[in-house]
Structure 1
Amino acid sequence: MIDDDRPLFAQIAEKVEDSIINGTLPEMSRAPSTNELAHFYSINPATAAKGINLLVSKGVLEKRRGIGMFVTDGARALLINEHRTTFSDS
């Protein structure tokens, strides 16, 4: 699961991104909460929140007050394009 040298929050963000790209977390659907991620991966909720906030700042997730986090419309295309750009730059 989570074991490489990168920060845990970055790995959490990547796991959520992967779920969006492969379709297990469709656009406009509810994303896992920070507490759900923290429990699932046995990490501190603050670490999970940092990963989620990274995705919010990218425009991949949005907070809906009182409801939770949701995948934005167009998030999959945004992530695929980002991955293509990163791959072509390396």
Structure 2
Amino acid sequence: MTSVYMDPHVVEIRPVRPRSSGCEECVRMGTPWLHLRLCLTCGHVGCCDSSPMRHARAHAQAIGHPIVQSFEPGENWRWCYVHEDYV
């Protein structure tokens, strides 16, 4: 029998519109980013963990919105910061 794990945080996913076309904090601060992540609870756009400032993770920890989706063209994966796993 195969077990399929369902992350309990998927209930926090909402239909969102990106609030920015770049990392919101990096744009304000004038700092660079590598890749972007879209918060699936509120639409915040933040930079990835490979970026110097890691604003997507900081948003998830400060606000409590656990799931992001890649905001890179051609990518559609989702990540839960609480469980450190793909959703």
TM range (shorter): under 0.3
> Which structure: greater strand fraction?
2
Which structure carries more relative contact order (alpha carbon 8 Å, separation 6+)? 1
TM-score by length of 1: 0.25
